[in-house]
Amino acid sequence: MTLEAPSTPKISKRDAIIEALMELASIRPWDEIEITDIAQAAHVSLSEFRDSFPSKGAVLGGFTRMIDRKVLDGTTDDLAGEPARERIFDVLMRRLDALAPYKAALRRIVPALQHDLASLVALNSVALNSQRFMLAAAGISTEGPLGHLKLQGAVLVYANAMKTWLDDEDPSLARTMARLDRELKRGERVLERAEDVRRLTAPFRAMGRAFMNSRREQSARARPGPAQDGETSDPAAAI
C-alpha cells in the first residue's frame, strides 16, 4: 500500500499576491518593486492581479486585513473580566506576534512610506478600520461621541509600539511590551481628559441645542402660509 504525501493547502490568488509582495519587500527596496514583479512572484497574470488589487498599496491593505483575520480568529473570552487596558494590550501583542514572519519586509516598508503623505493618509484609513476590530476584540466600544478619538488613539498607540517592535531583537519583546504599556497609559489619560471636557461642557451644548431649536421654531412661524386667492406662492419669499 502506497501512502500519499499530504497535499499542501492551496492559497487564494489574493493571499499569493500578498505573500509575494511581502517576500519581495524583505529583500528589495519598496520603491523598486513593480506590480509586474509581484505578479511574477505570485505566479498570477497581470489581469488576475488587477482583479484582486488595484495597486501595490492596495496589497498592503489586503495584508492588514489578513493580519486582522489572524488576530480575530485567535480571540477568546479569557480576559473578559480584566481591565480594558489589559485586554487591548493582549490583542495588540497578538497582532505583533502575527506580524513576526513579515518583520524583515516591514523594516523596509515602514520607513519608505513615512515621507509619502498620500500613502500615509490612505493607510491611516485602513489602520482606523483595523483598530475598530482590534478594539471590538478587546470588548471596547467605539460608538458614541468619543468613538473616533478612541480609534485614532489606538492607531497612534499601535504605530508607536510598532516602531519599537521593529528594532526589538529580544525574543521576549520586553522593550516592545514596555513601550506598548506606556502608550496605553498615555492614551487612557487622554481619554479621561476628553471625557472630563465633554462632561463639563455638557450644559453649554444643551443650551446651544435649545437656542438653535428656538430659532428654528421662530423661523417656521415666520414663514408665509399657503397662498390665498389671487396670490402666487414664491419659494424665494421665505429668504
Per-residue pLDDT, averaged over 95-109, amounts to 96
Q: What whole-number distance in Å separates Cα of residue 176 and Cα of residue 179?
A: 5
Q: Which long-range contacts (CB under 8 A, 24 or more apart) does 200-204 make?
A: none
Q: What whole-number distance in Å separates Cα of residue 221 and Cα of residue 215?
A: 10
Positive/negative CA dihedral, 73, 78, 84, 90: negative
Per-residue pLDDT, averaged over 128-139, amounts to 93
Q: What whole-number distance in Å separates Cα of residue 62 and Cα of residue 19?
A: 10
Q: What whole-number distance in Å separates Cα of residue 48 and Cα of residue 60?
A: 17
Q: What whole-number distance in Å separates Cα of residue 149 and Cα of residue 17?
A: 34
Q: What is the DSSP string of 170-223?
A: -TT-HHHHHHHHHHHHHHHHHHHHHHHHHHHHHHHHHHHHHHHHHHHHHHHHHS
The pLDDT value recorded for residue 238 is 29
- Span 49-82, pLDDT tens digits: 999 999 999 999 999 999 999 999 988 888 778 8
Pick from 210, 72, 40: which is nearest to 136 by CA? 72
Per-residue pLDDT, averaged over 187-192, amounts to 82
Domain layout of the chain by residue ranges: 13-197
The mean predicted confidence, pLDDT, of the chain is 83
Q: How confident is the model at residue 233 (pLDDT cuts 50, 70, 90)?
A: very low
- Span 191-229, pLDDT tens digits: 777 765 555 454 544 555 554 666 566 666 666 555 544
Judged by average pLDDT, the poorest of 16-20, 128-132, 167-171, 209-213 is 209-213
Per-residue pLDDT, averaged over 70-98, amounts to 90
* CATH number attached to the domain at 13-197: 1.10.357.10
Model-level pTM? 0.75
Q: What whole-number distance in Å separates Cα of residue 235 and Cα of residue 224?
A: 10
Burial of 183-218, coded b for 16+ CB within 10 Å and e otherwise, reads bbeebbeeeeeeeeeeeeeeeeeeeeeeeeeeeeee
Would you give the end-to-end CA distance of the chain in angstroms? Answer: 91
- % of the chain residues with pLDDT over 70: 77
**Site of grid cell 480571540:** 75
